[in-house]
Structure 1
Amino acid sequence: MNRLVILDRDGVVNQDSDAYVKSLDEWHPIPGSIEAIARLTQAGFLVAVATNQSGIARGYFTEQTLHEMNNRMLDLVTAAGGRINAIAYCPHGPEDNCSCRKPAPGLIFQIEKMLDHKAQGAYFVGDSLRDLEAARDAGCHPVLVTSGKGQKTLAKLPETEFADIPVFADLAAFTEDLLRNS
């Protein structure tokens, strides 16, 4: 079993917003998510975050603000006894045609390089179809959580592509299941 778990950020670790999470004041962890990351770490998993952050390209916030939000996440995880081993983000907009914006798997490949660890066979937990597609294309096991935009994603999920995908209420429920069964 690959001991790497990759997480989308907005909607998996923290509350999401259709208006974008644009500031430290708007960044709020989903209940149980920080503790779930700590539990994964304590069970010997590497944890990484792969997140599209097109709000930077759109001018809604700066990379400095993104780093402040990510640092808050890192501090909370550390305080809970866990660790996030890598964070990869795409600052581009959808029209930029970059290789890192999900559904492209570029962020996953960046994480592989950062950690010197293959992602094939790792779990990738997300709340959007883009997350699931990136996971599949990088050889990861896609997992859908219905927190964030996951309920909407579940309602329009292409059954032929993702018929057997595991679905959980949130990161805490996924973590509980993974640790119970590993």
Structure 2
Amino acid sequence: MPSIPQPLLPDDDGSAAPAVAAALRAFHAGTAGPADVLNALTGARVLVPVVALLTESEVGEHGLRQEKESEMALPKLVGKDGREAVLAFTSAESLARWRPDARPIQASALQVCQAAVGERAAAVVLDVAGPHSFVIEGAALTAMAAVASGSLPDSDDAITVTRLEEPAPQRRRFPWSRRR
């Protein structure tokens, strides 16, 4: 018989991790950089939404259409350019802002990045409906997925994973270097 996995945090009340909430507020206020948010997210729990998707309906005895069968689905965002993004939320409140009927599944931010790379998504969008959204994409997404898997990709374009630090003020880019 299959077993139901234990949640990451059994006593989770759905609140955002204080370090993550503070980093996102500071980033949006312009007093912190993306590296500060990524550092806070590295060990954080996020919530991935699951929604019911109607797959089959029927007309009931009173002539009304009713659900016959549904499946649970992990929704993705699709940009105007066709790129897909995985959704994640810092709290149950931010998830409910986006879609009140979605159900939260606990995951680490690193696991979500790893899943996004595995699904060939271009990004992870955090708190899409606010209060402070943040996008993880490109080298940052690849690096966080690599940390989650414990291995770097085999290619000449692989990235070196290091502790994230805010770059010098004149340079506004992620502080990872590429191996050649």
* TM-score bucket (shorter structure): 0.3 to 0.5
* CA radius of gyration, larger in: 2
Give the TM-score of the pair, scaled to structure 1.
0.32
Structure with higher helix content = 1
